[in-house]
């Protein structure tokens, strides 16, 4: 099964005023000078799929200066069927998602129709920053192989907020707290089970990927930490942590504290890997994520690669592009050196180079 964008209409997205672009189903290489809008193109594809940016700065920075709204419209072909997706956000953060012209309550149907994996200059955050990035990474993957995970996660978060509110109140009876722990434990066990199943596929794919990318020498390993002690029912763990929960006014353990440890030579990878090594390990993780989605759903997501060739030596870049070349899906890649990438990709893929130009969008 395949999905690809055959038209992208971008309006007031960062420096892009109005662009009507017809990308190819293969590898779309975007090139042009610094600051012309290459990353913004990739970001608009990511936005259409998720309602989010992959850069820091929040939604306001996406809206073109002086404008009140950003919108992206895409036509996709999925397994031979055409779908029209639309997404806009205004300055207040209000979002409007549309599918075939009909309004949607949220973005998740767009995300399922057009899954996008974006790899960019901040992807090494996965190695460097706190557990929330890893939770987001694993939850995104879990949602794409089991869409009901999103509902389970939303339900858990709602109960968690209620339990936290209760823990901040004075003179609450133990039975009341236990009532909320029970509700939270039931959903939390399901949430954690979903993640654990997907994590085990991810770990297998990751180990194979490290070998094919000849990264064994880094001795990288990933471990799933579910957020409370192994082998203990979640309800018991909540009850055990009760006095600490009261002290801090929040539920202190549980699936919302999940982490994915990334180690190299048995130490935290963030402490010992170089920036280039972090980038390549993060890429191996994203490639594993893609493989898991494909093996469990028979579908490849669309891939956005921003400045893929920065910080990688020639051999590493070849390994990375080789890996992406084997994936038969639509790729958007930005680069200052399009010829190098074109040569690396073109052996197996249909490739087109697009020049991003000032106020004009793209041209061949």
Ligand X SMILES: Nc1ncnc2c1ncn2[C@@H]1O[C@H](COP(=O)(O)OP(=O)(O)O)[C@@H](O)[C@H]1O
Residue numbers at the binding site for Mg ion (CB under 5 A) = 38-39
Q: Is 346 in the site for ligand X (CB under 6 A)?
A: no
Q: Which does 53 bind (CB under 5 to 8 A by kind): ligand X, Mg ion, none?
A: none
# residues near ligand X by CB under 6 A: 15
Q: Is 361 in the site for ligand X (CB under 6 A)?
A: no
327 Cβ partners below 8 Å, 6+ apart? 290, 294, 300, 303
CA distance 120 to 34: 15
| C-alpha 361, offset from chain centre | 26
Q: Is 89 in the site for ligand X (CB under 6 A)?
A: no
With respect to ligand X, which residue has the nearer C-beta, 34 or 298?
A: 34
Q: Which does 64 bind (CB under 5 to 8 A by kind): Mg ion, ligand X, none?
A: ligand X
Find the shortest distance in angstroms from Cβ 67 to ligand X.
8
Find the shortest distance in angstroms from Cβ 30 to ligand X.
8
Find the shortest distance in angstroms from Cβ 52 to Mg ion.
17
The burial of 307, by beta-carbon neighbours within 10 Å (0-12 exposed, 13-18 middle, 19 or more buried), is given as middle
Find the shortest distance in angstroms from Cβ 111 to Mg ion.
23
Q: Is 68 in the site for ligand X (CB under 6 A)?
A: no
Q: Which does 255 bind (CB under 5 to 8 A by kind): ligand X, Mg ion, none?
A: none
Find the shortest distance in angstroms from Cβ 356 to ligand X.
6
Q: Which does 188 bind (CB under 5 to 8 A by kind): Mg ion, ligand X, none?
A: none
Q: Which does 35 bind (CB under 5 to 8 A by kind): ligand X, Mg ion, none?
A: ligand X
CB 52 within 8 A of CB 82: no
Find the shortest distance in angstroms from Cβ 306 to Mg ion.
6
Q: Is 338 in the site for ligand X (CB under 6 A)?
A: no
Q: Coil, strand or helix: which one is 80? A: coil
CB 284 within 8 A of CB 206: yes
With respect to Mg ion, which residue has the nearer C-beta, 200 or 310?
A: 310
Q: Is 15 in the site for ligand X (CB under 6 A)?
A: yes
With respect to ligand X, which residue has the nearer C-beta, 13 or 238?
A: 13
Closest CA to 189 of 155, 144, 143: 155
Find the shortest distance in angstroms from Cβ 34 to Mg ion.
7
Q: Which of residues 25-54 bind ligand X (CB under 6 A)?
A: 32, 34-40
CA distances from 169 to 88, 110, 155, 250, 254 (A): 39, 40, 22, 11, 21
Helices (H), ranges, the chain:
38-50, 108-113, 125-128, 131-145, 148-168, 174-212, 234-240, 242-248, 269-272, 275-297, 314-325, 338-346
CB 156 within 8 A of CB 256: yes
| C-alpha 119, offset from chain centre | 9
Binding interface with ligand X (CB under 6 A): 14-15, 32, 34-40, 61, 63-65, 334
């Amino acid at each position: 099964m395949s999905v690809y964008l055959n038209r992208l209409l971008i309006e007031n997205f960062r420096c892009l005023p109005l662009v009507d672009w017809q990308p190819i189903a293969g590898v779309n290489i975007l090139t042009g000078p610094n600051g012309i809008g290459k990353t913004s193109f990739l970001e608009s594809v990511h936005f259409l799929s998720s309602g989010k940016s992959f850069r820091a700065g929040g939604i306001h920075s996406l809206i073109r200066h002086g404008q009140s709204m950003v919108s992206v419209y895409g036509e996709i072909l999925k397994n031979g069927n055409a779908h029209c997706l639309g997404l806009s956000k205004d300055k207040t953060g209000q979002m409007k998602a549309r599918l075939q012209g009909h309004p949607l309550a949220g973005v998740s149907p767009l995300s399922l129709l057009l899954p996008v994996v974006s790899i960019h200059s901040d992807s090494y955050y996965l190695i460097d920053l706190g557990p929330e990035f890893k939770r987001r990474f694993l939850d995104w993957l879990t949602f794409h192989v089991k869409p009901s995970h999103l509902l389970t996660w939303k339900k858990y978060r709602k109960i968690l907020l209620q339990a936290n509110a209760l823990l901040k109140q004075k003179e609450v009876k133990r039975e009341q707290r236990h009532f909320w722990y029970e509700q939270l434990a039931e959903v939390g066990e399901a949430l954690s089970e979903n993640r654990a199943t997907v994590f085990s596929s991810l770990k297998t794919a990751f180990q194979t990927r490290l070998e094919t990318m000849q990264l064994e020498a880094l001795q990288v390993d990933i471990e799933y930490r579910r957020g409370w002690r192994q082998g203990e029912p979640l309800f018991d763990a909540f009850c055990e942590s009760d006095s600490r929960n009261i002290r801090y006014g929040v539920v202190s353990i549980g699936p919302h504290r999940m982490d994915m440890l990334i180690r190299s030579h048995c130490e935290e990878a963030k402490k010992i890997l170089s920036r280039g090594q972090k980038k390549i390990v993060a890429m191996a993780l994203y490639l594993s994520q893609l493989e898991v989605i494909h093996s469990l759903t028979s579908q490849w997501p669309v891939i956005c690669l921003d400045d893929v060739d920065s910080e990688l030596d020639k051999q590493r870049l070849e390994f990375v592009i080789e890996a992406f070349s084997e994936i038969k899906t639509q790729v958007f890649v930005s680069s200052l050196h399009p010829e190098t990438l074109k040569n690396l990709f073109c052996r197996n893929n249909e490739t087109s180079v697009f020049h991003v130009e000032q106020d004009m969008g793209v041209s061949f």
